[in-house]
Amino acid sequence: ASEIIPNFLYLGDFQNGSEMSQLQALGITHIIDATNEHYSEETAKELSINYLPIDIWDIEKADISQYFESTNEFIQSAKDQNGKLLCHCRAGWSRSPSIVLAYLISSRFSASLKEALIWTVSQRPFVCPNNGFRDQLRCYETKILGAQS
């Protein structure tokens, strides 16, 4: 898993979300599972980790923006509880990064999409939200910040 916000927010793939030893070593208390397969569900139950499944396909026409508010709230809740959160999808390069980028853009950080993407890619180089997700992130950026970067 890649550390996006030190000692708090991690981004990864489905293996990161189901490897008990890694989750325990990182002290993960919350998981957002942005796959349709719910890879982390059993592991989260077993380790008493707060678990939020997001059913979304990694296709351009999928509406990931419908989840931004609920995922932002879940991430903020983990932060408020001094928890550690792993957001993952299957490969960790489109769906879960889109959720993390939305959080970084949200009013809690007020990063532009460009700033958030540069930072996230610096921590996890193969991050590449699909074009549909990028368009939705641009719209979200305008909604939150009033302009696009």
Q: Do 11 and 88 contact (CB within 8 A), yes or no?
A: yes
Rounded to whole angstroms, the Cα distance separating 76 from 93 reads 22
| Residue 78 contacts residue 84 (beta carbons within 8 Å) | yes
**Which two structure tokens, joined as six digits, stand for 149?**
């970067």
- For the question of residue 89 being annotated catalytic, the response is yes
Which of 87, 89, 128, 139 does the annotation list as catalytic? 89
Q: Which residues pair with 52 in a beta bridge?
A: 32
Tokens 């325990």, residue located? 24
Tell me the catalytic residues.
Answer: 89
